[in-house]
Amino acid sequence: MRLIQTIKNIFKIEDLRARLIYTLGIILLYRLGKYITLPGIDPSQLGSLRDQTSSGIMGLLDMFSGGAFSQASIFALGIMPYISASIVVQLLGIVFPYFQKLQKEGESGRRKMNQYTRYLTVAILILQAPTYLVNLDATLLDTAFVLTGPFFKVSSVIILTAGTIFVMWLGEKITDKGIGNGISLIIMIGIVARLPANFVFEAGTRINGAGGLIALIVEVVLLFVVVLGTILIVQGTRRVPVQYARRIVGNKQYGGVRQYIPLKVNAAGVMPIIFAQAIMMIPLIFTRYASSGSGFVVAMSNMYGFWYNLVMGLLIILFTYFYTAITINPVQMAEDMKKNGGFIPGIKPGRKTVEFFDSIMSRITLPGSIFLAIIAILPSVAVITGITPQFAQFYGGTTLLILVGVVLDTLQQIESHLLMRHYDGLMKSGRVKGRSGAVTSI
């Protein structure tokens, strides 16, 4: 009854209702675009492309594009080029003082950073679009191409580039006029869209194979447990008490109020997994040139092998510490606290406070990094235990973290609208804790 009443409350708020309807409309438009095939390609001849994207790296690319990759759609490249550009621009903010200055300029700096991100996205698309066409040419039969030649290639590059830019625009419109983070929602919808079909395929495989219905129930229960564990780690924080003075006269503080600084257990988000996967894709480039005796390249190219997952897990732990170190600045936190008349009880201001923050972050980052590594290799463990690769993708990796993070962030925004209008929130006790910008913060 509480859920039904909450849904009624959501639709009682005119602004929230309009935002939800607008968001659903944009998502529907995005999903319809998936079925528009590139001009010059016969949609009925895409069977070999779908087989290629049924598992492995190509399967991940197809998942993040919402199935558009395997449909040779105008949205085939999806939103991932924009995500890649966002990552590069954020890393530039760490290395170059100019971008560091833009990050501190507030709204005007953010607009300039977004503009640079868009320019870099176009550059990445101009490089990726021809690569996608080369893959189509190598995968599809000649009968699949109604048009050939330079005109087809140039027009297809333009269409693929425009398609991703249009998806970017849709995501920004959701952020401005809808509910939730638009880019994150588009990625999540693409992932969720494949869940029903993959579940039906897994169910058919299990019911008709060994284990039957009991094996399917066990898989669903395990998936539920993994999702709950992911939610707990995403919401996990270490609260540091800070005492703020109400009045400061000379060197003395009068009165005070105690607040808490929440330090996230997983401050790096999905970035370490993305970095590690990018590096682990390098051996795949050399696989075609390696002979059967090239053990290292072959081992590093097997996504479900022991050595591949061990190396990727170690890389994720290293990248978690690296990304946390460059995003969480203990020196800046200590300086801001001092400027606002705050201090940590029992810790001297200045260098001791910096060392305290650094120690806390090092301790809580370790379990967070190990959890990310486990989440990243869970799909491989699921495949080894007999789960189909298509359904195993929902057991971990960036897929699960994105789903959990985006859902929590969207629910948090809905909760805020309800509480501002003096309605009960989505949770009976406490509030929904989201990860603002769950995807685009990377």
Q: Are residues 198 and 279 in the same domain?
A: yes
Q: Which token pair is 138?
A: 């190598």
Would you tell me the crossing angle of helices 182-208 and 397-420 to the nearest 10 degrees?
A: 130
22 located within any domain: no
- pLDDT, one tens digit per residue, over 82-98 is 888 887 887 787 778 88
Q: How confident is the model at residue 436 (pLDDT cuts 50, 70, 90)?
A: very low
Between CA 134 and CA 442 the distance in angstroms is: 29
431 or 371: which leads in pLDDT: 371
Type of residue numbered 79? I
The chain-wide mean pLDDT, for the chain, equals 79
Quick check: 307 and 313 in contact, CB under 8 A? no
| Number of helical H runs and strand E runs in the chain | 18, 5
Q: Are residues 150 and 200 in the same domain?
A: no
**Neighbouring residues of 215: CB distance < 8 A, sequence distance ≥ 6:** 206
**Residue 339: per-residue pLDDT:** 79
For residue 434, pLDDT beyond 60: no
Identify whether 220 is part of a domain.
Answer: yes
Domain end call among 129, 151, 178: 178
Q: Examine residue 162 and state whether it is found in any structural domain, yes or no.
A: yes
Claim to verify: residue 155 and residue 206 sit in the same structural domain: no
More confident position, 385 or 174: 174
Task: In whole angstroms, give the CA distance from residue 376 to residue 275.
Answer: 12
Least confident window among 3-7, 127-131, 265-269, 351-355 = 3-7
What residues form DSSP beta bridges with 260?
241
Decide if pLDDT at 54 tops 90. Answer: no
Identify whether residues 98 and 217 lie together within a single domain. no
With respect to residue 203, please indicate whether it lies within any of the assigned structural domains.
yes
Q: Are residues 188 and 234 in the same domain?
A: yes
Give 437's pLDDT tier (boundaries 50, 70, 90). Answer: very low
Average pLDDT over residues 357-385: 86
> Is residue 375 within 8 Å of residue 231, measured between CB atoms?
no
In a domain, 5, yes or no: no
Going by C-beta distance under 8 Å and a sequence separation of 6 or more, which residues neighbour residue 97? none
- Same domain? For 149 and 252 the reply is no
Structure tokens at 227: 């999702």
Alpha-carbon distances of 337 from 98, 245, 257, 262, 332, rounded to whole Å: 26, 11, 13, 14, 8
pLDDT tier for residue 423 given thresholds of 50, 70 and 90? low
Q: Say which residue, 311 or 7, is predicted with more confidence.
A: 311
Q: Are residues 174 and 315 in the same domain?
A: no
Three-state SS at 331: helix
The helix/strand/coil state of 25 is: helix
Q: Identify the domain containing residue 153 by its residue range.
A: 34-178
Helix (H, G, I), strand (E, B) or coil at 348: coil
For the chain, the domain total comes to: 2
257 plus 300 within the same structural domain: yes
More confident residue, 313 or 7: 313
299 part of a folded domain: yes
Cβ atoms of 440 and 168 within 8 Å: the answer is: no
For the stretch 297-336, pLDDT in tens is: 677 777 778 888 888 889 889 888 888 887 788 888 888 8
User: Which of 70-84, 187-201, 408-422 comes out lowest in average pLDDT?
Assistant: 408-422
Residue 166 has pLDDT above 90, yes or no: yes
Same-domain pairing of 84 and 195: no
Domain boundary among 151, 178, 205: 178
* pTM beyond 0.85, yes or no: no
Predicted pLDDT of residue 294: 59
The rounded radius of gyration (Å) of the Cα atoms in the chain is 24
Beta carbons within 10 angstroms of residue 259's beta carbon? 12
Domain boundary among 115, 143, 178: 178
Q: Which of 126, 158, 132 is nearest to 39 (CA)?
A: 158
Give the mean model confidence (pLDDT) for residues 99-114.
Answer: 82
The more confidently predicted of residues 50 and 171 is: 171
User: Based on the domain organization, do 258 and 160 belong to the same domain?
Assistant: no
Q: Is residue 376 one of the residues assigned to a domain?
A: yes
222 within a domain of the structure (yes/no): yes
> DSSP character for 37?
B
115, 242: one domain = no
DSSP of 65-130, one letter per residue?
TTTTTTTTBTTTTTTHHHHHHHHHHHHHHHH-HHHHHHHTSTHHHHHHHHHHHHHHHHHHHHHHHH
242-254 confidence digits (pLDDT tens)? 766 554 444 554 4
Residue 63 pLDDT greater than 50, yes or no = yes
Q: Are residues 214 and 126 in the same domain?
A: no
Each residue's pLDDT tens digit, 328-367: 888 888 888 877 777 788 888 888 888 888 888 888 888 8
